[in-house]
Amino acid sequence: MMSTTIIEVAAEAGVSTATVSRVLSQPERVAETTRRRVLEVVDALGYRPNVAARSLRTLRAAKILLTVPDISNPFFASVIRGAEEAARDAGYAVVVGDTRHDPEVEDQYAEMLSRREVDGLIFLGHRLPDSLTPLLERKGNAAPIVNGCEYSPELGVPSVHIDNAAASSDAVEHLIALNHRDIGIITGPPISPISRDRLAGAMRAAERHGVADRLQVRVGDYSACSAFVQASALIERGVTAIFCFNDEMALGAISAASQAGLSCPDQISIVGFDDLPFAPYFQPALTSVAQPKGLIGRRAVELLVGILRGVDPPDRQVTLEHKLVVRNSTGPAPLG
Amino acid sequence: MMSTTIIEVAAEAGVSTATVSRVLSQPERVAETTRRRVLEVVDALGYRPNVAARSLRTLRAAKILLTVPDISNPFFASVIRGAEEAARDAGYAVVVGDTRHDPEVEDQYAEMLSRREVDGLIFLGHRLPDSLTPLLERKGNAAPIVNGCEYSPELGVPSVHIDNAAASSDAVEHLIALNHRDIGIITGPPISPISRDRLAGAMRAAERHGVADRLQVRVGDYSACSAFVQASALIERGVTAIFCFNDEMALGAISAASQAGLSCPDQISIVGFDDLPFAPYFQPALTSVAQPKGLIGRRAVELLVGILRGVDPPDRQVTLEHKLVVRNSTGPAPLG
DNA sequence: TTCGGCGATGTAAAGGATTACATTCACGCC
DNA sequence: GGCGTGAATGTAATCCTTTACATCGCCGAA
């Protein structure tokens, strides 16, 4: 039942536990022959260091917690992958937590940090659990917490994100260039800074072209279902284009358009956000704003690892490039 | 820097560490007044038990590892949610690992079990990492390992799944009832038992109706892209219906049909598998075989927790109900 | 009054790895 | 020959909790 310990390995190899430990964590400090002998015994006995004991002693868990607000959104999957790769490079494992937008669950996960089950936290939502504020105050810039995708300056936490306003502006500019004037927008929940930024960017673009007053804004919740409802309403009010703040909502909007007997892109144009892996396979292929998803994850981890190592990061705010990918769901506005 | 320990709490509250520990883990064994006083101090000092020390002592990590082959597949997201809920009910946290179908990564995650970082493992793929075979041999039925979604009898591991053959058979029966005779199938990788079972079920249904020899089988890899390619080939060979072994591939097939100038469902019918949350929003809304995703996760956890508690599960194989959800991507075979 | 029993609490021994510090030994140089 | 140096290894304290066992009162029964 009880698994082999370092003591048994040491006994079997005829060395002290210290030597065994060194063989495993700082091999260069052990003589070649000894090292080989110890490794043989380790192998023969199937010895695996007990992480609990190790992390008790070292105060390191070698783990990073990554919480996502909705794991069923494939957008986050790519971020997770990028994070895992970077974490592995730095010698950390990633624990993924799905908070389902639930503050209580967020709190539960945050506890893992307080209890030192993980060395740091990357959260992709916009809420920082209350239980972390003491830590944040105590440690200041050294608090091992990083925000990804979203960015709320008031949290005082380093973060990695794109320029959501500019990205959103690009999308609207694209529609305006196609002669659309009556543009509908389906946002995310207003509480999300990401959604606010995107809305601001969209407004700005509309203003630049004098169509701000014709902009029709509707609030969605990032689900296809919510977008279906809102898009139906927008269509009824005569928009010729709809910009959705994520791809899943764009799917709902396309569905609503089809339901209303409008063909996309001939009669209505639809733009999404995130450029999910299967956006090219939607009917029609979706025009969408691409974020460097994997890179966001990677840079967030790098930022966090920097903090954990005690090196002050050059930038506590990292802004990455976005890119509008034009496909078949957008076209010239129908005439008059 | 160092956080508060149980010793400081004990000192502050004027009791022994044993009492503090008991207040936290078996409150009923401590007198009301003492308990209250200790809890106050715990609160005041912001004491959080150190999990490393605890799990070192108790040999329990209170964590379950759940590995998925591809976290970007929303199908798994629902399974993960079900698992998390059940785990929480049982006092466990879930660590999610994305293996990307990579055996090496699977091995790395399996190591977490060997190192006792987690108490048990639920894997949703079809491969059991080699490093676990010793454990499996040693512990036999008591090995804390459960398989979900897939099922390979030869692994000798308990598992939770649907009857994939029957489900697949249902899908083909549906197509045949709509008068389709030239049916194309896009499978998953042949190595996956799930894909083999589904293929067997589809063949059986075709045989029952004497159209087995007209069945055209193509191998996909569960990606929209692979399905696009295979579906294009199938269309060229004149099938009137395509059954894809997941929804993402169905999306690719629809895209291929549209590319080929065929309208779905009028000229070609397409069936998916999994019934993803946004299947209703595809164009056309997708007919798909639904699995009880959340329940799969939940039952897998229950099975695992049973093993961890040492109670022999009533069934080491749990088969759950599937259901064919008919929407607009399937219709009567075109005449002639 | 005495004592068994029981509830509440304390004492101290694990649990397994890391690591500061101590020791040993071989080597080379004066 | 003596001694400093540095590499290789050993000794033992430490990380923080949990828990078996011991202790201490107190109450009720004899």
Task: Answer whether A12 touches B (CB < 8 Å).
Answer: no
What is the nearest nucleotide to B52, using C1' and CA?
D16
Q: Which residue of B lies nearest to A114 if distances are taken between CA atoms? A: B48
Provide the pLDDT for residue A139.
86
| Residues B258-286: tens digit of each pLDDT | 999 999 999 999 999 999 998 999 999 99
Residue B3: which pLDDT band, with cuts at 50, 70 and 90?
A: confident
Distance (Å, whole) CA A2 – CA A12: 17
Please name the residue whose C-alpha is nearest to the C1' of nucleotide D13: A57
Task: Decide: A73 and A222 in contact? Cβ < 8 Å.
Answer: yes
On whether any CB of chain A is under 8 Å from the CB of B163, the answer is no
**Higher confidence at residue A50 or residue A336?**
A50
Q: What is the pLDDT confidence band of residue A131, given thresholds at 50, 70 and 90?
A: confident
pLDDT value of residue B22: 95
Hey, which residues 103-162 in chain A have their CB within 8 Å of chain B? Answer: 111-112, 114-117, 134
User: Looking at CA atoms only, how far is residue A255 from chain B in angstroms?
Assistant: 6
Q: Where are the beta strands (DSSP E) in A245-311?
A: 269-274, 287-290
pLDDT of residue B315: 85
Answer whether residue B7 shows pLDDT above 80. Answer: yes
As a whole number, mean pLDDT of residues A70-86 equals 93
Structure tokens at B169: 């058979």
Residue B18 CA and nucleotide C11 C1' are separated, in Å, by 9
Q: Say whether B115 and A61 touch across the interface (CB within 8 A).
A: no
pLDDT one-digit tens code per residue, A210-263? 999 999 999 999 999 999 999 999 999 999 999 999 999 999 999 999 999 999
Can you tell me the mean pLDDT for B315-332?
96
> Which residues in chain A are closer than 8 Å to B61, comparing Cβ atoms?
52
pLDDT value, residue B198 = 98
Q: What angle do CA B71, A63, B74 make, to 5 degrees?
A: 10
Q: Which residues of A touch B71 (CB under 8 A)?
A: 71, 77, 80-81, 96
CA A273 to chain B, closest CA, distance in angstroms equals 16
Cβ of A179 under 8 Å from any chain B Cβ? no
Instruction: Answer whether residue B318 shows pLDDT above 60.
Output: yes
- Evaluate if the CB of B19 falls below 7 Å from strand C: yes
Task: Inform me whether the C-beta atom of residue B74 falls under 8 Å from chain A C-beta atoms.
Answer: yes
Share of chain B above pLDDT 90, in %: 87
A44-CA/C27-C1' distance, Å: 36
CA dihedral A64, A65, A67, A73 (to 10 degrees): 60
Q: Print the SS3 string covering chain B.
A: CCCCCHHHHHHHHCCCHHHHHHHHHCHHHCCHHHHHHHHHHHHHHCCCCCHHHHHHHHCCCCEEEEEECCCCCHHHHHHHHHHHHHHHHCCCEEEEEECCCCHHHHHHHHHHHHCCCCCEEEECCCCCCHHHHHHHHHHHHHCCEEEECCCCHHHCCCEEEECHHHHHHHHHHHHHHCCCCCEEEEECCCCCHHHHHHHHHHHHHHHHCCCHHHCEEEECCCCHHHHHHHHHHHHHCCCCEEEECCHHHHHHHHHHHHHCCCCCCCCCEEEEEECCCCHHHCCCCCEEEECCHHHHHHHHHHHHHHHHCCCCCCCCEEEECCEEECCCCCCCCCCC
Q: Cβ separation of A281 and B77 shorter than 8 Å? A: no
| Chain A residues whose beta carbon lies within 8 Å of the beta carbon of residue B84 | 98
What's the pLDDT tens digit per position in A19-60?
999 999 999 999 999 999 999 999 999 999 999 999 999 999
pTM exceeding 0.85:
yes
A302 in contact with chain B, both atoms CB, cutoff 8 A: no
CA nearest to B76 within chain A: A72
A52 lies within 8 A of chain B by CB: yes
Instruction: Label residue A312 by pLDDT band (50, 70, 90).
Output: confident
User: Which pLDDT does position B251 carry in this prediction?
Assistant: 96
Whether any strand C atom is under 7 angstroms from the Cβ of B60: the reply reads: no
Nearest by CB to residue B228, choosing from A251, A254, A281, is A281
CB contact under 8 A, A49 and B255: no
Contacts of B138 in chain A (CB under 8 A): none
**Which residue's C-alpha is at the least distance from the C1' of D16?**
B53
Pick from B85, B76, B151, B82: which is nearest to B295 by CA?
B82
CA A191 to chain centre: 17
Both ends of chain B: CA-CA distance in Å?
79
Confidence check: pLDDT of A1 > 60: no
